[in-house]
Amino acid sequence: MSTRSQDLAGELKQIIRLAGRDPEALEGALPALSALARVTSADLPDESARVHFILHHLIPEYVQRLPAGRDCRAIRELMTWEDADGEPQSLTTRYHKAAAQLVNAASDFGRRQEPRLMAECARRFIALDHEDRIAAAPPSAAPDDAAQAPPGADADGNGGIVQVHKNLDYPLLVDLMAEAEEIVILNTWIPDLNLFDDALVDALARGTYVSILMLYPDSQIAALRSQSLQGTGQARLREDRVRPGVRHCLEVLAAIARTIDDDGRRHLRVRLYDSLPSISVYGVDDRAFFSVFLHGQLAVKSPQIEVSGQNSLIGRLVFRELETLWDTGHEFEDLEQWETELEQMGRRLGTSS
């Protein structure tokens, strides 16, 4: 059974092919987009008007609301099916323009890049739809209405916090992964990745989108974080944990990529960020477990704050930080060639692997 984001990505794939040359063919073929709040509230008279609204109002507005990362710039190019004079742009032309926004874009853009960009676009559109629904919701009539607030609202004063765990609850995380539509992990590296690598394989096999974000291992920041993890004993004084930790995770993720089919590999995205680590996040759909980076202690061994609702007070903070670092990250095109691509990243960043 397909998920909402998969359905939306499929419709977006049709749009970038048909919007400029045969928009009538899209009539009746866009149920997921038609269900978005901006469309349902427009009171459109028929299917033709609905398609016109989606193509010429909803999508142009949504793509302008996307953040300024490389992927989002590429998405804008794919969604610009007419040039400034109103003439249709071929899909090949848009492929070239979108590829120019990416770093080392694969030559087979339609097979390697388009599916993940459409998946990314679908996730972004769903998030924008959530924002629109919240903005259109009527305010509570009185303070007593707080008891009727939907899950993830801030009316209870908890800001979306469900509970605080002593450390990362791996069994609970694995259980949540079993039914997830989207899994996101942000950390310097992923200690004990082997505890849920099978869960990631199963999730990818059924179509779950998995996004992994780790610290670039050869950066000065990685060296500083490794130093902050060192204990006071002399035996640990020179132990580097971050660099080998990231590289081991990349090897495990490459092994995962080798065990799944092409569709599964397209759903697995891994990026490295070269910035100050702020929080660790293990997110499953709209729930997340996050922690901070303390001296002498792994984030997964520190208290984990469980948050529900990406639009709750704390949820917004967590997922926006995740999005910020994701947009600055450097993505692997082929995980099975991660060592070669890591060297290429090092040259771009002015370091050596």
Which has the higher per-residue pLDDT, 101 or 238? 101
Given this model, what pLDDT does residue 95 score?
A: 93
Same domain as 94, residue 17:
yes
339/227 Cα distance (integer angstroms):
24
Same domain as 240, residue 181:
yes
Same domain as 190, residue 331:
yes
What phi and psi, each to the nearest 5 degrees, are found at residue 238?
Answer: -110, 15
User: Poorest-confidence range of 2-6, 290-294, 344-348?
Assistant: 2-6
User: Poorest-confidence range of 107-111, 299-303, 326-330?
Assistant: 107-111
Same domain as 181, residue 69:
no
Same domain as 244, residue 95:
no
CB 217 within 8 A of CB 322: no
Q: Which residue is listed with tokens 């035996």?
A: 235
- Averaged over 204-221, what is the pLDDT? 91
Given this model, what pLDDT does residue 297 score?
A: 86
In 97-139, where do the E strands start and end? none
Same domain as 246, residue 116:
no
Q: What is the CATH number of the domain that holds 330?
A: 3.30.870.10
Q: Which domain holds residue 250?
A: 156-349
CA atoms within 13 A on the CB side of 190: 25
What mean pLDDT, rounded, does the chain reach? 86
- Asked, for residue 223, whether it belongs to a domain, the answer is yes
Question: Three-state SS for 6?
Answer: helix
- Averaged over 45-66, what is the pLDDT? 94
Most confident of 53-62, 304-313, 316-325: 53-62
For residue 225, give both structure tokens: 């974080």
Given this model, what pLDDT does residue 323 score?
A: 87
Given this model, what pLDDT does residue 157 score?
A: 55
The answer on pLDDT for 54 being more than 60 is: yes
Same domain as 316, residue 243:
yes
136/77 Cα distance (integer angstroms):
29
Same domain as 96, residue 164:
no
Q: What is the pLDDT of residues 150-188, one digit of tens each?
A: 444 444 456 788 889 999 999 999 999 988 888 999 999
The answer on pLDDT for 279 being more than 80 is: yes
If one counts the domains in the chain, the total is: 2
Given this model, what pLDDT does residue 129 score?
A: 87
Same domain as 323, residue 191:
yes
Q: How confident is the model at residue 276 (pLDDT cuts 50, 70, 90)?
A: confident
Q: Of 109, 125, 141, which residue sits at a domain end?
A: 125
For residue 96, give both structure tokens: 């070239």
Q: Check the CA dihedral 257-187-76-48 and report its sign.
A: positive
Q: How confident is the model at residue 235 (pLDDT cuts 50, 70, 90)?
A: very low
